[in-house]
Structure 1
Amino acid sequence: MTALVRGVRTPGTATEVPPALRIRVADHVLAPVTVVLALVAVVCAAVTAAGGSVPVPVQLVPFAVSVLVFGLPHGALDHLVPARLRPGTSTLRSVTVVVVLYLVVGSATALLWVVDPVVGFAAFIAVTWFHWGQGDVFVDRLLDDGASGRVGSAVTLVTRGALPMLVPFAAHPAAATAVVSSTASVVRPGAATAGPEGVPVPVRVVIGLVVLGLVVLHLVAVRRSGAPVWRQAAEDAVLLVFFAVVPPVLAVGLYFTLWHSVRHILRLELTDPTAAAHLHHGRLRAPFGRFVRQAWPITAIAVAMLVVLAVVLRRADLGTYLVLIATLTTPHAVVVTWMDHVQHTWRRRAPGAVLQETGS
């Protein structure tokens, strides 16, 4: 009898992700999200062409939803990651290590924001760029495609992280810098990052050229790896257009909730024996329901932190939420980087720590 279990690469037992599971993930998890982003881009382009604009309350909906659905909760199982990926690690030790990590790294991040909120936001962008890029590298390994090797993985990381982090500043400079200024002012009222015009035109042109160059380099790297280019090209194109035509708040909120968080939750569920078995047999809803049940206690703590922060700062807006996310993202990225190391994510083939077969 064959069972899917958690684990680390063990000689003679690590196996690739079953092809059927790859197809299910690609067709029923990844593709629908790509289609949704493409449709939103079409609608926003049509609204703009008609001389209209997307109402601000509508733009905020994805971020509001992300407080409880996918977004904020997607890191709520970090405390279980060491126990899941290192056999012999007790739950107590796993929780202790991750809690200490969050306290130390999260506090350092918060201190940076207090000292200089503009630098804090810049660091937030840099960490998020890296973290969101590494999420797509893992998906490439899960599907056993994409650019291969460490160089190819680095190209994927830089390109996929650049699309959500850079394109809004080139395509919507005033709106993007307004978010930065508003968030910085949460910690230091009156903090400003740019004038009302946003990013100067020459800088926008440079950003645009850099992003286009990265996309081309990414596709070349995929091609040279011998992997199919169509999925990568389609995703690159959709993301490029999406962030170019959709208002930044709406675009980043949707991407955070539907693209990045869903992919990370899928990664977590593949480290859980029961959820991995459900996925292996084509049951996609059960693992996400299991995640919700496991994640709600930490999610509740994070929501309580958000409420306390809003009361202390006397502000309950997107800027306050982003400050909390920035504080949590840095330690979360450290945990995911450790996962990359243990699961050999930057290798060509699917990570051995994703699934294993054991005879019983």
Structure 2
Amino acid sequence: MVPPQRHSFVADPGMFTVEEAKKLAATIGVQERRVLPPPYCASDLCIAAAEGLMQQLDWDPATVEVLVFVSQDADYVLPATACIMQHRLGLPTSAAAFDVPLGCSGYVYGLWIAAKLLGGSSAKRALVLCGDNPTRHLHPEDRATLPLFGDAGSATALEVDASAPSIPVVIGTDGAGAPHIFVKAGGKRHCLIPPVGTAGRIADEEEAAQLERDSRLTLNGAEVFSFTLRAVPPLLREVMEHAGTDVDGIDRFVLHQANAFMLEHLRKRIKAPADRFVIDMQGFGNTSSASIPLAICHSMGGLLAAGPVKTLMAGFGVGWSWGAMVAELGPMPEPQVVDLPEGYPVLAV
């Protein structure tokens, strides 16, 4: 699920010359991005996607017993957005519903957590909802981030099948990378507003300007690229080894759609054929936790309808956090990328 609002820095270069914009678009693989306007949040995209998916699968919401919401953009400080989503979707009060605040690696983590819960309980069905709206953290004059990031939400359904093959998963974390993809303000360490009970919101113009700067997404491109080339090729090889296969045995590689330049370097590192390595972000940008399911829906719909498709999925980035899995996807109803309907009701308390 994506917002209908499209922003193209190629059509409207703004801070770039026309030639600069064309060159950058070719490098990062993004022509336009989807930008979610207020008052909508990532949760609204995910709710709309979940409603459509359950209708497509003919699932009664009362049969869904696990809801995992993966996002770095919660609606409120508290409660967990997943609790509000459970009520909106009509899931039973016996359902487990919780948030997972991960970004680039979040889709793999969400599937892994949901699968573990299904395998270790009496629950039979789960929804994994992944979505982010990173454009809220972009400064309109930031040449490094503005052309790259877009907003999206997704819904993935999981159901217990005792005859299904196992799904090997490899995950990891290295918090030394925390400063390199970073939004400083907004949590309790650096609040956007003074503590409850203190007079006034902002002391002076200088403090207000600093809060605005601290609310921006900062991205250390060199460090991100170095981490990716260092960590991701071994990750992909390890998960293929756990799956008892190699590059030739994978039908599709779907990695976090960070940018086309980085993805092409990874493809060459593992010697994957271009026709089986998905790079599909031209019309959406880097959508954080939603980038893997978005790429699957946009580029593999027909394949999944015929299925099964042995798919290697890998997310990596902010944290540093990473995860990869190999799963047979399909046959299933053909997944689609849908625009958020005009006038869709906002998820609110």
Whether TM exceeds 0.5 here: the answer is no
Task: Choose between structure 1 and 2 for higher RCO, CA contacts under 8 A separated by at least 6 residues.
Answer: 1
Query: Which of the two has greater helix per residue?
Result: 1
The structure richer in strand per residue is: 2
TM-score, length-normalised on structure 1?
A: 0.29
